[in-house]
């Protein structure tokens, strides 16, 4: 991923991958020690500088990770309009509740064309 990032930035800035690598090379401090990263800092007048960091994370496995329990929200199923209409079991033309038959528009067209 780092190589892909460097190639993209080099192409965008019309430079080589090595020039981008040397321009962005940095070291991040982590609890496990220093890690290599790519860092770009854009200084702004009267505001905090913008900082973009790629890498610099420790990939060491935690011996005793803290597991947080998450309360999942129930999934609400949304039915499509046609399913709702079919489950309603009511004729949409005369609103009758008995002997209801549903036909698609194609079938109605072919029936009325004859």
Given its phi and psi angles, is residue 95 left (phi above 0), alpha (psi -120 to 50 degrees) or beta?
A: left
Specify which residues 54 forms β-bridges with: 38
- Average pLDDT of the chain is 82
Tokens of 49: 């500088």
Residues 50 and 87 in one domain: no
15 domain residue, yes or no: yes
**Which of residues 75 and 106 earns the better pLDDT score?**
75
Tokens of 70: 């998450």
91 domain residue, yes or no: yes
**pLDDT at residue 108 is higher than 70:** no
| Structural domain boundaries, residue 51 | 2-55
74 domain residue, yes or no: no
Number of compact structural domains in the chain: 2
E strands, 1-114, in order: 25-30, 33-42, 50-55
Q: Which of 39, 55, 71 is the last residue of a domain?
A: 55
Cα gap 17→4, rounded to integer Å: 10
Residues 6 and 43 in one domain: yes
71 domain residue, yes or no: no
Kindly report whether the global pTM for this prediction surpasses the value 0.75: no
């Amino acid at each position: 991923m780092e190589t892909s990032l460097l190639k993209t930035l080099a192409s965008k800035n019309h430079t080589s991958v090595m020039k981008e690598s040397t321009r962005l090379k940095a070291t991040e401090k982590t609890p496990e020690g220093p890690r290599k990263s790519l860092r770009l800092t854009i200084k702004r007048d009267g505001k905090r500088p913008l900082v973009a960091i790629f890498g610099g994370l420790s990939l060491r496995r935690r011996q005793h990770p803290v597991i947080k329990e998450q309360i999942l929200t129930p999934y609400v199923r949304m039915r499509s309009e046609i399913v709702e209409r079919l489950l309603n079991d009511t004729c949409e033309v005369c609103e009758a509740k008995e002997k209801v038959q549903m036909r698609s528009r194609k079938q109605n067209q072919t029936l009325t064309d004859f």
